[in-house]
Amino acid sequence: MEPTASFFFDFRISDLWFLAEAAWRTLLISTLSITIGTALGVVFGWMLFEGRWAAVLILGPLLDVFRSVPLIIQLVLFYNFAPIIGLILDPFLSGVVILSIYCAALVANVARGGMEAVSPSMRRAARSLGMSYWQDLRYVVLPIGTRAVFPSWVGVALGVMKDSALVSVLGYVELLKASQILITRTQEPLLILTIAGAFYFALSYPISRYAASLEKRWAS
C-alpha cells in the first residue's frame, strides 16, 4: 500500500481578518509617526538651514544619533528606560514616539535640502517686493523647496511605514507580529508572508501612485 502524504493546513478566514486588523494598526502607527515626524523634521530642517549655533552644535549631532543607531535598538532602549524617568507608555505610544523622532531626523535633512534649493537671488527678489521673512518662507521657500525634495520625502515616508514592523519587538501586534503569530500556529509561512506582503503593497502602492501623479501635476 502506497504511503499517503498529509499536509498541515489550518488557515481560516478569521485569520485573514486578523491580518487585516493588523494592517490597519500598521497604517495607524505609520500615519501618526509620519505626520508628527514630518512636522518636527521641517522645523528641525529650518533650524539647520538657518545655521544657528545651537542647531549646529546640539541639534545636528543629536539627529545624527537617531539616523545612525539602528531603529530596533532605539525602540528597545526607549521602551525599557522610559519608566525610569516616569513615562509609562504602552508599545503603541512608545513606537509612535521613536518612529516620529526617527522620521524627523530623516526629514530634517530633506527639508534643509529643499530650503537650500531656493536660490538666494529669488529670496532677495521676494524681500525686495516687500515680503517679510516669514512671508518669504511661506510663499517662496516652502513651495519651491517642497517640489524639489518631494520624491525624497515620499521615500522617507514609505521607509518609515516598512520600519514600523520593528515595533513588533515591543509586543505591538502590527502586520509582521500578526504574521508571526499565525505562522507559529499554522506552520504555513509561505502563505501567510505572501498575504502580509500583499497588505504592505496595498498600503504603499497608493502613496507611490499619488506621489507620482502629484509630481506630474506640478511639472505641467
Each residue's pLDDT, cut to its tens digit, for the chain (220 residues) gives 444 433 445 767 777 788 888 889 989 999 999 999 999 999 888 888 887 766 677 777 888 888 888 989 999 999 888 888 887 888 899 999 999 999 999 999 898 888 888 888 887 887 788 888 888 888 888 888 888 888 888 889 999 988 888 888 888 888 888 888 888 877 878 888 888 888 888 888 888 888 888 777 877 7
One domain for residues 178 and 112: no
| Residues 198 and 167 occupy one common structural domain | no
Give the CATH number for residue 163: 1.10.3720.10
CA–CA dist 116, 107 (Å, integer): 14
The SS3 of residue 41 is: helix
Identify whether the C-beta of residue 45 lies closer than 8 Å to the C-beta of residue 111: yes
Q: How far is CA 50 from CA 41, 65, 102, 111, 143, in A?
A: 14, 21, 21, 12, 18
Do 207 and 51 contact (CB within 8 A), yes or no?
A: no
Residue 14 within any structural domain of the chain: no
Domain that holds residue 187: 173-220
Residue 3, in any domain of the structure: no
Residues 193, 167, single domain; the answer is no
CA atoms within 13 Å, Cβ hemisphere of 75? 21
Q: Do 184 and 166 fall within a single domain?
A: no
Instruction: Report the alpha-carbon distance of residue 160 to residue 163 in Å, rounded.
Output: 5
Residue where a domain terminates, one of 155, 172, 189: 172
Answer whether 0.75 is exceeded by the pTM. yes
Same-domain check for residues 88 and 168: yes
